[in-house]
Structure 1
Amino acid sequence: MRNWLKKMSLMTIIMAVFLAVIPITASAASMVKVTIDGKAVSFDVSPQVINGRTMVPYKAIAEKLGGKVKFDQSSKKATITKDTNKIELAAGKKTVSVNGKSVTLDAAPVNAKGDLLVPLRFVGESLGVWVNWNAKQNTAALLTKKTITHSLGTTTLNSVPKRAVILFNGSVDISVLLGVKPVGAVESYVQQPFYEYIRPSLIGTKTLGDETQPNIEAIVALKPDVIIATKVRHEKIYSQLSKIAPTVVTEDLADWKDNLQVAASVFNKEDKAEQFLTDWKAQVADFKKKLSAKDRGAEVSIIRINPNGSARAYNSGFAYQIFEELGFSVPKQQAALKQELVTVTSKEQVSLLDGDYIFDFTTDWDGDGAIFKLQKEWIDSPLWANLKAVKNKKYYKVNAVTWNLSGGALAAEKMLNDLYFYFDLND
């Protein structure tokens, strides 16, 4: 009886392991589908979900995309060539070679009946196709061409771009976030050639002049396969740019979220953009939750002193959009003017700059400090001392780069982190 119970216990354990592991893998494998340009494709080796990752047959997909594959059965090593790309990888090794450069995969390739199962995202990154994962339908959609609808029309790309030219600072910031190194980009307004917080990621990127007047000849020389521009800066030269390379134009210079999604769509980086925006949404919610009741809906004045000695309040733009998302309001005296930019030329009108909080991103355009002398003239004015924010010690000088000049996703993150400090919300 005792031996029989031991046998039954052993069988129970074996069956539990079998039911817990084998059917799940098989079920997931049978459900995963792959489409190429909208058409379903099948493989001798089925895609599988392994440890939560979608793994697809690399050799078979590469061949369907027009690539040539050599597979060494003894070493389990595959060499794939497609267009100008050469990829070398082996079963069980996370490090692969893409055009002579080492790349580390999220999961090691798995040998399966003469093919190698690799993470889905790697297919797009190495073979120049766009990859989207539809979790609800368990479908990986691969596109060999992509048409982008943008503010000035539509642009068709024949492969995921590798030689990008970026023509506005917000998108330069975004390219760094997405892990895309442009071959050329406009230089920063200050801290040239590129803003210090992103400069290490742009070593080797050629500068193309100011974003308001980029160097067309320099762009041509780089032979880009895509140009990212923005309407307010580049509408007049769009036809020129389009003749150089496929050009995608964003609608709003300051709308960093939309600009992030446009770039992610172009560069096959939707997963990174989605994760960033998910984290952003969570941080915004955390900020609102921690914000004291007295500060909810507070009137925030965003200002700078101009090189001509006037002052300006912003009721539009990058920082304004972030404050609006956080639930802050525009000072009533500014809102009454119904102007996106409120210019104040006389210190007798300084009350127009007031609010519960004043954030000042005056910029040292020339690097000589002269602008700060003009700023001091405003601050030293007796009328300035009467401002509510000044009396309550709620006037702050902030980082002009990340609060105004950059306008990208990483800058937005830095600005929000600053606001935790200014509103005393850090734990």
Structure 2
Amino acid sequence: MVTVQKRFVSLFVCFALLLSLVPSFTATAAAKAVNVTVDGKKLTANVSPQTVNGRTFVPYRAIAEAIGATVKFDSKTNRATITKGKQTVELTVGSKTAKINGSSAKLDAAPLNVKGTLLVPLRFVGESLGVWVTWKASTSTAALETKKTIKHSLGSTTLNSVPKRAVVLFNGAVDISVLLEVKPVGAVESYIQQPFYEYIRPKLKGTKTLGDETQPNLEAIAALKPDVIIATKVRHEKIHAQLKSIAPTIVTEDLSDWQDNLQIQAQIFNKEEIAAEFLAEWKAKVADFKRKLPAKDKGAAISIIRFNPDGSARAYNAGFAYKIFKELGFSTPKQQLATGQEFITVSSLEQVSLLDGDYIFDFTTDWDGDGAVLQHQKKWTTSDLWKNLNAVKKDKYYKVNSVTWNLSGGAMAADLLLDDLYFHFDLE
């Protein structure tokens, strides 16, 4: 009995000591202060910004007033109402649900009341007040900007708030918008699977279609009253003047450079954290693929092709899929390089050797939906000349998804393409 009592006393003392440590740890974690700047000027407030349980909380009233908003606080309901122009935000201490213009919005963490000052998660400041927020870890500074100038292929464009009504005029940017959790008010329709590609369609309910990306409907764009238009040079340079007369317009340089396009859109929409996380995961996935790839396949010559409705075929030495293969360390077939062309037209079966490689990936699309191009594909791929190709003899010819390999051109499509390569190279 004495032994049992001693053990109980010892256990109780240990538990008491453990409890005594908890408040000290919490206080230490909550005491880490951070700086906030608004358009380069340091913000001063009665309560300093601070990091609590890994999240940065900032004084909402001080920030709101610094950018010209008005704040009212009802001490009975612990509710703050913030108004800036046509934007109204309602917050309640202890609640993770806020309202922005009457619509519910979720917060990462509930607002805190510290010495009478309302502190909110940093990310919510940008989402609710339309300002850009950049976290600078080296100085523990949250930099807020009420305007942002975006440099692009046809100049530079200044935005006065984070856009809420975006129009997107090429398919890769539509994919990226979905990744960044931005629903455009209008977007060009997909080349097939209209109105939008099936893999992103559920996230685009309510988005208006604006015609083909090669010829978007300008009247429909204007009717939507967008606050930003995202275009791309090869498709929209000729109508740039008309577009920017409708709304601030940002024009990307390369339709197929999904990583650059992702970073540009992340800047526009204040979503750089999502983009950075995706790109970090992408780089890790690319490194994993290259590490797992057998020595016999490293640097393999990859032929990327499609068959056309006019009876010809095409090999790609540029474009979306080509860029990904180059990043993975693959090479281009020598006979294709010798042409000096980025897009090689093969007009007859007698030239079919131009399509050969160690691997052939074919993203032929049934554009017209009548099956004619598939009949043409079948005619070529059942011929003796085709069967004599190196990749075909080694059973390394693959038909792949035309949407995620070619037509979309966005970040999510890139990830799906890489998933396909894990399968085709037996790396799963």
Question: Aligned pair count?
Answer: 420
SS in 2 for 1:44: coil
Residues of 1 paired with 2:214 and 2:26: CA distance?
Answer: 59
The reply to whether residue 23 of structure 1 matches residue 25 of structure 2 is no
Q: Could you tell me which residue of structure 1 aligns to residue 123 of structure 2?
A: 121
Residues of 2 paired with 1:118 and 1:21: CA distance?
Answer: 18
Q: Could you tell me which residue of structure 2 aligns to residue 165 of structure 1?
A: 167
Residues of 2 paired with 1:154 and 1:179: CA distance?
Answer: 24
Does the 8 Å CA contact 2:231/2:252 hold for their aligned counterparts? yes
Deviations 1:194-242, CA, capped at 9 Å, x for gaps: 1111111111111111111111111111111100000011111111111
Counterpart amino acid of residue 415 in structure 2: E
Q: Could you tell me which residue of structure 1 aligns to residue 402 of structure 2?
A: 400
Deviations 1:287-341, CA, capped at 9 Å, x for gaps: 1111111111111100000111111100000000000101111011111222101
Residues of 2 paired with 1:90 and 1:425: CA distance?
Answer: 50
1:328 counterpart (327, 330, 344): 330
Give 1:14 shift: 7.3
Does the 8 Å CA contact 1:73/1:114 hold for their aligned counterparts? no
Q: Could you tell me which residue of structure 1 aligns to residue 228 of structure 2?
A: 226
Does the 8 Å CA contact 2:126/2:132 hold for their aligned counterparts? yes
Residues of 2 paired with 1:97 and 1:139: CA distance?
Answer: 27
Q: Normalising by structure 1, what TM-score? A: 0.95
Q: Could you tell me which residue of structure 2 aligns to residue 80 of structure 1?
A: 82
Residues of 2 paired with 1:292 and 1:195: CA distance?
Answer: 34
Give 1:173 shift: 0.5
In structure 2, the CA distance between the partners of 1:218 and 1:9, relative to structure 1 (3 Å rule), is: closer
Q: Name stretches of at least 5 consecutive residues in structure 1 with no aligned partner.
A: none
Does the 8 Å CA contact 1:303/1:313 hold for their aligned counterparts? yes
Residues of 1 paired with 2:189 and 2:271: CA distance?
Answer: 24
Give 1:115 shift: 2.5
Give 1:13 shift: 5.7
Counterpart amino acid of residue 105 in structure 2: V
Matching of residues 335-374 of structure 1 within 5 Å: 335-374=337-376
Counterpart amino acid of residue 400 in structure 1: S
Q: Normalising by structure 2, what TM-score? A: 0.95
2:136 counterpart (134, 137, 141): 134
SS in 2 for 1:136: helix
Q: Could you tell me which residue of structure 1 aligns to residue 102 of structure 2?
A: 100
2:208 counterpart (195, 206, 217): 206
Residues of 1 paired with 2:193 and 2:40: CA distance?
Answer: 46
Residues of 1 paired with 2:198 and 2:18: CA distance?
Answer: 59
2:197 counterpart (190, 195, 199): 195
Matching of residues 384-399 of structure 1 within 5 Å: 384-399=386-401
Counterpart amino acid of residue 25 in structure 2: A
Q: Could you tell me which residue of structure 2 aligns to residue 292 of structure 1?
A: 294
Q: Could you tell me which residue of structure 2 aligns to residue 418 of structure 1?
A: 420
Counterpart amino acid of residue 279 in structure 1: E
Counterpart amino acid of residue 244 in structure 2: S
Residues of 2 paired with 1:390 and 1:9: CA distance?
Answer: 72
Q: Could you tell me which residue of structure 2 aligns to residue 314 of structure 1?
A: 316
Residues of 2 paired with 1:10 and 1:218: CA distance?
Answer: 68
Residues of 2 paired with 1:296 and 1:351: CA distance?
Answer: 22
Residues of 2 paired with 1:11 and 1:391: CA distance?
Answer: 75
In structure 2, the CA distance between the partners of 1:13 and 1:206, relative to structure 1 (3 Å rule), is: closer
Give 1:20 shift: 3.3
Residues of 1 paired with 2:18 and 2:201: CA distance?
Answer: 57
Does the 8 Å CA contact 2:44/2:62 hold for their aligned counterparts? no
Matching of residues 272-287 of structure 1 within 5 Å: 272-287=274-289
Q: CA RMSD in A?
A: 1.8
SS in 1 for 2:139: coil
SS in 2 for 1:337: coil
Residues of 1 paired with 2:358 and 2:286: CA distance?
Answer: 20
Q: Could you tell me which residue of structure 1 aligns to residue 3 of structure 2?
A: none
Give 1:42 shift: 0.8
Residues of 1 paired with 2:148 and 2:315: CA distance?
Answer: 41
Residues of 1 paired with 2:15 and 2:423: CA distance?
Answer: 60
Does the 8 Å CA contact 1:60/1:115 hold for their aligned counterparts? no
SS in 2 for 1:35: strand
SS in 2 for 1:218: helix
SS in 1 for 2:367: coil
